[in-house]
Amino acid sequence: MSTSARILIAFLVLLFGGLVYLARDLTLRVERQYMEAAEEPMVDAAYLFASLVEQFTDDRGIQVDALRKSFARAHERRFSAKIYNFEKTKVKMHLYVTDADGLVLYDSRGEAEGQNYRRMLDVGRSLKGIYGARRSRTNESNDRSSILYVSAPVTREGKIVGVVSVSKPQADMFPFMEATQEHIRWMALSSFVAIALIASLFTSWLATPIRKLTAYARQLGQGERRAVPKLRSREARLLGEAFEDLRDKLEGRQYVEGYVRTLTHEMKSPIAAIKGAAELLQEDMPPERREHFLSNIDAETARMQDVIDRLLALSTVENRKTLEAPERLNVSQLVREVIESHDTALENCRLTLETDLPPDLWVRGDAALLEMALSNLLQNAIEFSPPGEAIQIRASSDQSNGLVITVKDHGPGIPTYALERAFDHFYSLQRPNSGKKSSGLGLCIVREIMELHGGSATLENVADHGALATVRFPQEEVRTE
């Protein structure tokens, strides 16, 4: 699991725990807040009813008959009151009235009349002139059976002569509380999902430069030629530049070491041949034999010059990271210019060319480099083709393969053991016509040029006979008109 994924998961776990704790605390707080909100108007109701009862108080005490009739009519009454999503259809508030000793004179429920409630917290405190309220359960095992009581004293000539206590079932407030609690839970869940999504996107955005640099480092490790990815973050950009600098230093060191070894190996043979021929030329010999050794010196010198020239060309290509000024090139015209430069070689080897080059194919690239790559492929085809045969050059383009240019000869093909090494530095096979080897750098140059263009180069045998060299350009580089 990646570090960014672990950080994201840890953050989401902490966020989930925090939101659960917050939602739980708020839902518990809702119940208390609703009870407090319900108690405040009940205080008003208690004192209003106390004032009303005081009008029915005389020297004989509190007269509750009128109150009994009024409350009976109120509870019998049916109505419809739409309170947001809830509908109220009847009065659910009750009250009871006690005398100065706490004896219940009237109970709207008809349950407690004649009982002494002086010990009840609401009655006892109100008889002492203190605010009185209590909450009692009708079923001790059911917390939802609680009833809230709020009382107010009934006074006559400044003396407390009784108590009025109004009550309301807590269950009447549950629908409101549950709706609010459900809303809190829903908001907590929605917040978690929204924050999790934003955090995931933000984490992905932060990790994108790291993923790009990781892919870049892997490509470097595989020997691929890639430019440093474009990064917006300053820190990531500096890290990418450090990777690039490190790659340049490592490649430069390996480049020098590798080429010194291979160049030393390749130069041994021609130098030995030239030295041997020069020593023999110091002796007396027939003119025709002298001419033979002079020809050998000239051939080996040309071979050394070819190796040096190709090494310079290859080093120039390998040290370039990107195309400096790519141009829009017509593929057909590009190939025909390469063919014209090889007219003499084709004529000397008695070879013909078969071409299939649509005139409407275009590609962006470096003309000189692409001519060099195609020239190497055509030169190989010429050197491996028997006299009198034909070389086929074709170009095509489609959505899946991009632009493809192929060069096919009818020679002996490539031995199976050599196919995997065909693009290695200094690896070469004997030419069937001359028996000699080339510098072994031509196909290396082709591969490097194509990678610089974002494409690829391959070599394979064909079913009948001969070899097929293919260069491919990526689709985004291709233009068709």
Q: What is the CATH number of the domain that holds 357?
A: 3.30.565.10
Predicted TM-score (pTM) of this structure: 0.43
Q: Is the pLDDT of residue 127 over 70?
A: yes
Q: Which of 377, 330, 375 is nearest to 357 (CA)?
A: 330
Average pLDDT over residues 135-139: 82
Enumerate residues 6+ apart whose C-beta is below 8 A from 447. Answer: 423, 456, 457
Residue 216 near residue 240, CB atoms below 8 Å: yes
| Rounded Cα gap, residues 428 and 414, in angstroms | 11
Name the burial class of residue 391, with classes exposed (0-12), middle (13-18) and buried (19+) by CB atoms within 10 angstroms of its CB.
buried
**Pick from 87-91, 243-247, 328-332: least confident:** 243-247
Q: What letters, b where the CB count within 10 A reaches 16 and e where it falls short, cover 161-179?
A: bbbbbbbbbbeebeebbee
Write down the pLDDT at residue 296: 75
Write down the pLDDT at residue 56: 86
Enumerate residues 6+ apart whose C-beta is below 8 A from 320. Answer: 452
Write down the pLDDT at residue 480: 47
Of 131, 157, 179, which residue sits at a domain end?
A: 179
Residue 311 token pair? 């090494």
95 in a structural domain: yes
DSSP state of 386: P
463 in a structural domain: yes
201 in a structural domain: no
266 in a structural domain: no
Write down the pLDDT at residue 415: 81
Write down the pLDDT at residue 64: 85
Write down the pLDDT at residue 153: 94
198 in a structural domain: no
Write down the pLDDT at residue 119: 92
Number of domains in the chain: 2
3-class SS of residue 158: coil
Residue 307 near residue 441, CB atoms below 8 Å: yes
298 in a structural domain: no
Confidence band for 164, pLDDT divided at 50, 70 and 90? very high
Write down the pLDDT at residue 434: 59
- What CATH number is attached to the domain comprising 103? 3.30.450.20
| Rounded Cα gap, residues 403 and 397, in angstroms | 4
Of 179, 214, 242, which residue sits at a domain end?
A: 179
Write down the pLDDT at residue 124: 92
Of 149, 179, 209, which residue sits at a domain end?
A: 179
Write down the pLDDT at residue 159: 92
Confidence band for 376, pLDDT divided at 50, 70 and 90? confident
Whole-number mean pLDDT of the chain?
Answer: 79
Q: Is the pLDDT of residue 51 over 50?
A: yes
Average pLDDT over residues 281-303: 77
313 in a structural domain: no
- Count of other CB atoms within 10 angstroms of residue 6: 10
410-438 per-position pLDDT tens digit: 888 888 877 777 777 666 666 656 556 66
Domain range for residue 95? 3-179
475 in a structural domain: yes
For 190-193, which contacts have Cβ atoms below 8 Å and span 24 or more sequence positions? 191/19, 192/12, 192/15, 192/16, 192/19
Q: Is the pLDDT of residue 152 over 90?
A: yes
| Rounded Cα gap, residues 237 and 220, in angstroms | 17
192-219 per-position pLDDT tens digit: 888 888 888 887 777 777 777 777 667 6
| Torsions phi, psi for 166 (to 5 deg) | -95, 150
Per-residue three-class SS string for 77-116: CCCCEEECCEEECCCCCEEEEEECCCEEEEECCCCCCCCE
DSSP for 213-265, please give it.
Answer: HHHHHHHHHTT---PPPP--SHHHHHHHHHHHHHHHHHHHHHHHHHHHHHHHH
Confidence band for 306, pLDDT divided at 50, 70 and 90? low
